[in-house]
Amino acid sequence: MSDVILLAHGSGGKLSHDLVKKTFLPSLANTMLNKLDDSAIFEASGRLAFTTDSYVVNPIFFPGGDIGRLAVCGTVNDLSMSGAKPLYLSLSIILEEGFSLSELDHIVKSVKAAAAEA
């Protein structure tokens, strides 16, 4: 596998599959994600709150955190401020061609750590 993101990583083919299995699953594996479906189906009862945010920051690594931690903390904060208890998070990552896979791995591990704290 290349050490940077290639355009083919977004094709839904082998490189996409490899990226998910080698970068995302080791840190974020759970019963829903492990199915490798394009959606998650779960039982919900009562009121349900859902939010998602997008972040574009420069630099992506900064004193006290990084974009991965910011994504989790921002979303958890939005849910908490509405009185909801965060149970699940959705994560959408848009990567430009040439982005470092080692930096992506660091961000994914940061997402895991921040989610564990939430």
114 within 8 A of 69, measured Cβ to Cβ: yes
pLDDT of residue 38: 85
pTM: 0.90
For residue 109, count CB atoms less than 10 angstroms from its CB and return exposed for 0-12, middle for 13-18, buried for 19 or more. Answer: middle
pLDDT of residue 18: 94
pLDDT-based confidence at residue 45 (cuts at 50, 70, 90)? confident
Query: 62-102: per-residue pLDDT in tens?
Result: 999 999 999 999 999 999 999 999 988 889 999 999 999 99
* Residue 33 per-residue DSSP state: G
Give me the architecture of the 4-35+53-117 domain, per CATH.
Answer: 2-Layer Sandwich (3.30)
pLDDT-based confidence at residue 41 (cuts at 50, 70, 90)? confident
